[in-house]
Amino acid sequence: MGIQSLTKHVLPYAETVVLDGGPSTTNSPPRVRSVVIDGPSLVYHVYYKLLAWSDLTCDKIDPQPTCDQVSRGVASCLLQLKGRGIEIHAIFFDGALPISKRGVRLDRNEKSRRRLELSRQKTFPLALKGHPKLKSIQPLQFWQSRGLPSRLRRLPENPFMVAAVYEDLRQRWSTEQMAIDFQLNALQLQGGDYPWARITVMVPGEADSDCARISKLTGAAVLTDDSDLIVHDLGPHGAVVLLKSLHLLDSTPNQVSTEIRGLRISPSGLSRRPGIKDIQRFAYELTQNPHYGLSDLVRRANEALGTNERTLDYHNFIQEYLGYQHDDDVNQPMLSQQGVNDLTLDPRVAELFWQYERPEIYCLGQGVQPHIYMGILSEDHSRQCAWEQGRMYRALGYSILNQSYPEPRRFPIIQEFVRRGGRIVAEEITLCGARTIGSDLNILHTRLKLAQTVFGGMARLRFWVMFALSEIWRNSSNHAMLPNSANLEHFLKHGYTTNQAEWSDLHLVAQIQAVLYSLRILKQLLGATNDRPCSPHQSILSDLPSLYILLGSRHEMTQEFVDEGLAHRSVYQLIQTYS
């Protein structure tokens, strides 16, 4: 959520800079030649740029950029920075949030839930016939200023895009793949086969501290939209460049000499103007006196600094911004977390993992249980949360993780934060023992074997979509809300069951995504454990595609069923077997 009004006070004293690794030119602003990137901030920056350029003839949900589109946009931005000679030291992602940030996380989830609720209140038809498409985005347009249309400002955000981008930077965007997708010469792409993999790191905590640490050590600017980063110890040469301030000097996208300019905020610059001698003290005074003007805040901060006054409240406040005790190695995060990052866990799964690894930090206190925050899906807000689907597989994954630790470090339950009606609530999932784990894994084996018999020979994504539908059909409590066979066939071919998209169609997509992502969680937690009884099952879900494929839009899903008669045969097999 950030420190309220901090940006408003310091932004007028920001310095215009050019993002370019080349030599300075006459009358040109200072150059930023190296950066460290706040990964989630870049993902959201690209997401909203894509949203701003989306086709306004589409409905209120279809403009939502997909994981694939966001991932391509992030890769394009990184290539542009490298092409301008900018050194990228690291791209950091949050791997866990401390207990003190639970309230912040709940507020964010509630904000997304409210956005979904407001979207659901619209009574007009959701979509025109035909498939919406994103306007063609030229690479430089990611740096162009473009306002977000008011009708798109309250869309719930894609809950899987950060995880998808993290996975793709480490496993998808090879030099060869980028050369193909972005029509580049592979010989010009430096950094090894996977140039982003080594510098893309999920830290055991918030990314802010690592971004600040690298900035302090190297003088690199932190690319972020989190103004709170300026409160961290950036050293005498570190700085923050706000992503939302980046813009093209020339509005012609194809002009080679176009500069990317932005606003740089540095503690040293703020010390000169407006005279903030200690940014941490200033930020603390702002939190205590949010209605004070800038001059009063500067005066109070500097006076307190002169008296060395350190109250308990101030001591507690600055703990978040102190950073590492041993921070003299620029490669420390890449080296110390190498084993964890090799697992390539999604951020929400990594957060659960760290609650077991470091419970004294992330799960401290009597009665505190491990927790996981499930994203807000684009679903029908008036119906039961789509995360009810796939719950068995998520519970199985949580239990496997729990059993992989010694008895004293196990927990009886895990709390899942999900939508229930008009609230975000913590639902308790009871963790089972080894015998039940073995039984449930055998059930999954049996179900997969049946699905392979029924849907065998299908393309990979098509098979998993039909498996997810079989899980939904298997639950008899769903049947009253499910489409009939003719409508389901129409849904697979067109993305909606009748003549136009309804909220029931979006809800079915959300249920499919819930099943598939639950399997993804199970796959990751199977891979993260060395528990011997689970070893034979670790490859059971090895055929699950990457997130950018697995959790595409409903329109991408329909492309799997375009062949004549394929949707009809798939639905017939589903109904005959599972109803």
How much is the mean pLDDT over the chain? 88
SS (H, E, C) 397-441: HHHHHHHCCCHHHCCCEEEEEEEECCEEEEEEEECCCHHHHHHHH
For residues 347-351, give the mean pLDDT: 95
Q: Phi and psi at residue 470, in whole multiples of 5°?
A: -65, -35
- Quick one: three-class SS letters along 58-111? CCCCCCCCCHHHHHHHHHHHHHHHHHCCCEEEEEEEECCCCHHHHHHHHHHHHH
Task: Read off the pLDDT of each residue in 59-63 and give the average, rounded to a whole number.
Answer: 61
* Sign of CA pseudo-dihedral 447, 518, 195, 182: positive
Lowest-confidence segment of 12-16, 275-279, 304-308, 334-338 by average pLDDT: 334-338
272-326 tens-digit pLDDT = 999 999 999 999 999 999 999 999 999 999 998 877 667 888 988 988 888 654 4
- 188-192, 250-254, 408-412: least confident range: 250-254
Cα–Cα distance, 279 to 272 (Å, whole number): 12
CA distance 76 to 84: 12
User: Could you tell me the sign of the dihedral formed by the alpha carbons of 521, 524, 529, 531, in that order?
Assistant: positive
- Is 50 exceeded by the pLDDT of residue 334? no
Mean pLDDT value across residues 214-242: 95
Predicted confidence at residue 250, as pLDDT, reads 67
Per DSSP, the residues of 328-360 read --TTHHHHHTHHHHHT---HHHHHHHHHHH-HH
The per-residue pLDDT for 152 is 79
pLDDT at residue 232, rounded to an integer: 95
Res 1: pLDDT = 54
Residue 257's pLDDT band, with cuts at 50, 70 and 90, is low
**Statement: residue 269 has pLDDT above 70:** yes
| Rounded Cα gap, residues 223 and 218, in angstroms | 14
Residues in Cβ contact with 526 at an 8 Å cutoff, skipping those fewer than 6 apart: 397, 400, 534, 537, 538, 540, 541
Give yes or no for a contact between 243 and 265, defined as CB atoms under 8 angstroms apart.
Answer: no
**The pLDDT value given to residue 412:** 96
Residue 438 clears pLDDT 80, i.e. is over it = yes
Residue with the bigger pLDDT between 364 and 545: it is 545
pLDDT, greater one: 168 or 27: 168
pLDDT over threshold 70, residue 110: yes
**pLDDT at residue 253 above 60?**
no
Domains of the chain, earliest start first: 14-121+132-275 (3.40.50.1010), 369-578 (no CATH)
pLDDT score, position 169: 97
Q: pLDDT tens for residues 494-529?
A: 999 988 888 899 999 999 999 999 999 999 999 888
The first and second tokens of residue 512, run together, are 């499919």
For residue 60 the two structure tokens come to 């209120």
Q: Which residue has the higher pLDDT, 132 or 506?
A: 506
Q: Report residue 383 as tokens.
A: 């119906």
Closest by CA to 305, choosing from 282, 274, 322, is: 282
Task: Answer whether residue 179 shows pLDDT above 80.
Answer: yes
Which pLDDT value is given to residue 161?
97
| pLDDT value for 124 | 47
Contact yes or no for 445/546 (Cβ under 8 A)? no
CB atoms within 10 A of CB 257: 7
Please report, rounded to a whole number, the percentage of residues in the chain having pLDDT higher than 70.
88
Evaluate if residue 336 carries a pLDDT over 60.
no
- Bond preceding residue 536 cis, omega within 30 of 0: no
Which run of H or of E encompasses 275?
none
Q: Report pLDDT for 326.
A: 44
Q: pLDDT value at position 126? A: 55
CA distance linking residue 29 with residue 485, whole number of Å: 64
Separation CA 155–CA 151 (nearest Å): 8
Task: Give the tens place of pLDDT for each residue, 473-492.
Answer: 988 676 778 899 999 999 99
Q: How many CB atoms lie within 10 A of CB 565?
A: 10
- pLDDT for residue 74 is more than 90: yes
Q: So what's the pLDDT on residue 274?
A: 95
